[in-house]
Structure 1
Amino acid sequence: MKAVLFANTDWYLYNFRRALALALQRQGYEVLLISPAGPYGDKLRALGLRWESAPMARRSLNPLREAALLWHLVRLLRREQPALVHGFTIKCAVYGSLAARLAGVPARVNAVAGMGYVFTSPQLKARLLRPVVRGLLRLALGGSGARLILQNADDVALFRQAGLVDPEHIRLIRGSGVNCAQFAAGMRARPPGDGRMRVLLASRLLWDKGLAEFVAALRQLRLQGRTVHALLAGTPDPGNPATVPEATIREWVAEGLVSWLGHVDDMAGLLGSVDVVVLPSHREGLPRTLVEAAACGLPLITTDVPGCREVVSDGVDGLLVPRGDSKALAQAIRRLQDDPELARRLGVAARLKARSQFDEHIVIQRTLEVYAELCEAPAAFTEPLL
């Protein structure tokens, strides 16, 4: 049986879905990965996976370019004749599902991690696009051969309320999965430093990840005489309208507020060098960076918003602060700095939760079960994941 996995970047496929693709291969699937061209395509091929580029521009609104992309996908799917197409993110869900319908692919699975820019941004362009995208989603996600995978309970309720898809066809799978055994290396003894608590924010550098609030909190801590070593890992995302300009990040570095690490491949190693992970995001599907940090046994500080509160229960396995509240964020950092025993206890609980709810074995098993609803496909692993 052949399955096509379609995402808006090759980086996403490599970092978030390669374990799924490799597991599918071991289950006997033929797997084809599709995304816009990028440096991770060759890395996917080096793993023995088949990857092809698609002429997709994430921010494009050009009708001719979008029609060309749809036609490219239709021709590709007609050539490949897969049993199933699995799309990730809203744009890939729409285009992949529409192309699958036109090409006669019997099964369509879509995983939407959050509502995306169109539904969360207050910008005029986003508000104008919403009714169009809603209509396309209803068309793309409908039908008995479709399933929609969402990552948190808030999004499940939102999609049901919006009537975008038959509620019976919605499945809740929390995240893309993390190899908790790999990140256990992050639980080693922290390397010696200068005595300052090391606080990490690792994400795509977007305003809606809460970067402005993080920087404001750091300024408040400085005024209070607090010494923390703040680390920022990630790069701007030019394909997203909410990207933070590189010049702004460099201004924060020059101000002495953060150390900017850029893109980090060895996240397990980085997490093993810090004391606290924060993510003051405005909304998430289910944030992988928090799950990776939890798998390392780190205390977490995040916002009380959809997606983030799936990972953190306030005072149990992390601390929750209100969205957009830099003062509360600064207070939470200060609280963990003043109470190392609380930080330790939260980290232990976070790791237990990561292993029991967010490990990639669990996520891939649940995904295979969704496939089996639509195709004559195995619903369980025949061999363990490596």
Structure 2
Amino acid sequence: MKVVLFANTDWYLYNFRRALAMSLRRAGYDVLLISPPGPYGDKLRELGLRWEPVPMQRRSLNVLRELMLLWYLIRLLRRERPTLVHGFTIKCAVYGSLAARLAGIPVRVNAVAGMGYVFTSTQLKARLLRPVVRGLMRLALGGKDARLILQNADDVELFKREHLVDPEHIRLIRGSGVNCAQFAGVSGRVPDGGRIRVLLASRLLWDKGIDEYIAALRKLRNQGRDIDALLAGTPDPGNPATVPESTIRDWVDEGLITWLGHVDDMVGLLGSVDVVVLPSYREGLPRSLVEAAACGLPLITTDVPGCREVVCDGVDGLLVPVKDADALARAIERLQDNPDLARRLGSAARMKARTQFDERMVIQGTLEVYAELCHPAEAMANNADRRPSS
């Protein structure tokens, strides 16, 4: 059986779906990965995976260019004749599903991790695009041979409320999965009441709460707090909400942060910090928090969809209101001043990561969705075997 995995960057495929592709191949699937061109395509090929670039521009609103992309995808799918097309992120889900339908590929799986710029931004362009994208999603994502995978319960309710997809065709799989065994031997530093090392690791977008992080750090510095603040990640030119590099460098010059840029060795980085924060406005299910949890680090994040899937306030981390820099600063202070609380939260976070977000669980759930569509009799038998006897 052939499966096409379609994402909006080769970086996403390599970092978030590499384990899925490798597991599919080991299970006997013929796997093709497609995305816009980039340096991670060769890394995928070095793993023995088949990857092809597609002429997609993430920010394009040019109707002719978008129609040409759709036609390119239709011809590619007609050539490859996969059994199933699996799209990731909203644009790839919509375009991949439309192309699959027009190419005669019946089975479609789509994974939407968060609602993206169009649904989270208050900019005029985003508000104008919203009804268009909603219409395209209703057209592309529905059908009895399609399934939509969402990463948190809030998004499930949103899709049901907006009537974007038949609720019977929605499946909840929390996150893209983290190899918790990779982090098993890592223990982040624990605050001891002295100098604290805080990390925010994400794509550098305003809606990740970057502005609130900087404002909280200014407040803490003005209070004389001894804090070493790190920012890991790079601007994303393909996203309208990207933070300009010049702005980041101004913060560095101001002495507020150490900017690490892109970091490949997250194991080493997480082992060197005390606290991880992510004051995001909305998420699917943030991988950076799960990786930090797997290291036993205390987490601070916002009480928004996706983030509250990972953190239960006061149990395995701290939740703060969205867009509230003062609350974020107070949460950092609290962990700096209370090492016992930080240790307790970190220990609980590690247990939660292992039991709820390990990549093996995510891959198994995805394979079950594939089987539901491609081998329905087998899937029904497996589900019956799992039901408790009365």
Specify the TM-score bucket, using the shorter chain as the normaliser: over 0.9
Q: For residues 252 and 108 of structure 2, what CA distance do their matches in structure 1 show?
A: 45
Alignment of 1:6 onto 2:3: no
Report what 1:81 is aligned to. 81
Q: How does 1:131-150 map to 2 (within 5 A)?
A: 131-150=131-150
Q: CA deviation at 1:120?
A: 1.1
Q: Which AA in structure 1 matches 2:63?
A: P
- Partners of 1:246 and 1:317 lie apart in 2 by 33
Given the alignment of the two structures, is residue 154 of structure 1 paired with residue 154 of structure 2, yes or no? yes
| Alpha-carbon separation, structure 2, partners of 1:78 and 1:218 | 53
Note the 1:239-250 alignment, pairs <5 A.
239-250=238-249
Q: Are 1:323 and 2:322 counterparts?
A: yes
The TM-score, its normalising length taken from structure 2, stands at: 0.95
User: Bigger CA drift: 152-161 or 370-379?
Assistant: 370-379
User: CA separation in 1, counterparts of 2:185 and 2:107?
Assistant: 39
CA distance in 1, matches of 2:45, 2:331: 43
Match of 2:388 in 1: none
Hey, what does 2:46 align to over in structure 1?
A: 46
Q: Would the aligned equivalents of 1:55 and 1:69 in 2 still touch at CA under 8 Å?
A: yes
* Alignment pair present for 1:371 and 2:380: no
CA–CA distance in 2 between the matches of 1:325 and 1:191? 25
- Report the Cα distance in structure 2 between the residues aligned to 1:238 and 1:109, rounded to whole angstroms: 28
**In structure 2, what is the Cα distance between the partners aligned to 1:218 and 1:123?**
26
Distance in 2, Cα, partners of 1:94 & 1:196: 48
Query: 1:1-386, aligned counterparts within 5 Å?
Result: 1-187=1-187, 190=189, 196-376=195-375
Contact 1:175 1:287 in 2 (8 A): yes
Instruction: Give every structure 1 segment of 4 or more consecutive aligned residues whose post-TM-superposition deviation is greater than 6 Å.
Output: 377-380
Displacement of 1:129: 0.9
Does structure 1 retain, via aligned residues, the 8 Å contact 2:318–2:331?
yes
The C-alpha deviation readout for 1:105-159, integer Å capped at 9, x for no partner, is: 1210000001111111111111111111111101111110100000000000000
Q: For structure 2, which runs of at least 5 residues remain unmatched after alignment?
A: 383-390
Give the Cα separation in 2 of the matches to 1:90 and 1:218.
Answer: 33
Contact kept, 8 Å, 2:190 with 2:297, in 1: the verdict is no
2:184 aligns to what SS in structure 1? helix
Aligned AA for 1:151? Q
- Kindly indicate whether the alpha-carbon contact (under 8 Å) linking 2:190 and 2:339 is maintained by their aligned counterparts in 1: no
User: How many angstroms apart in 2 are the aligned matches of 1:319 and 1:354?
Assistant: 16
Q: Distance in 1 between matches of 2:113 and 2:221?
A: 35
Letter in 1 for 2:98: L
SS at match of 2:25: helix
Map Cα deviations across residues 5-32 of structure 1 (whole Å, 9 max, x no partner).
0000000000000000000001100000
The question of whether the paired residues in 2 share the 8 Å contact of 1:199 and 1:230 is answered with yes
Task: Evaluate the alpha carbon distance shift between residue 232 and residue 87 of structure 1 in structure 2; reply closer, same or farther with a 3 A threshold.
Answer: same
TM-score (norm 1): 0.96
Give the Cα separation in 2 of the matches to 1:121 and 1:262: 24
How many equivalent pairs are there? 379
User: Which amino acid is the alignment partner of residue 331 of structure 2?
Assistant: A
Displacement of 1:183: 1.4
The Cα RMSD (Å) is: 1.6
The answer as to whether partners of 2:191 and 2:274 remain within 8 angstroms in 1 is no
Q: Comparing 325-334 with 115-124, which one deviates more in the overlay?
A: 115-124
**How far 1:186 sits from its partner (Å)?**
2.2
Q: Which moved more, 1:276-285 or 1:369-378?
A: 369-378
Letter in 2 for 1:34: I
Tell me the residue number matched to 1:383: none
User: 1:191: how far off?
Assistant: 11
2-structure distance, mates of 1:191, 1:338: 11
Q: Distance in 2 between matches of 1:240 and 1:46?
A: 28
Matched-pair contact (CA < 8 Å) for 2:191–2:342: no
Aligned AA for 1:295?
A
Cα distance in 1 for partners of 2:25, 2:375 equals 16
CA contact (8 A) 1:6 1:33 kept: yes
Other structure's SS at 2:349 match: helix
Identity among equivalent pairs (%): 81
- Secondary structure of the residue aligned to 1:187 is coil
CA contact (8 A) 1:191 1:273 kept: no
User: Shift of the alpha carbon at 1:192?
Assistant: 12
Deviation track 1:238-271 (CA, whole Å, cap 9, x = no partner) reads 0000000000000100111000000000101100
* 3-state DSSP of counterpart to 2:282: coil
In structure 2, C-alpha distance between the alignment counterparts of 1:191 and 1:268, rounded to whole Å:
16
CA contact (8 A) 1:185 1:268 kept: no
- Report if the CA contact (8 A) 2:147-2:170 is conserved: yes
Name the SS for the 2:5 alignment partner: strand
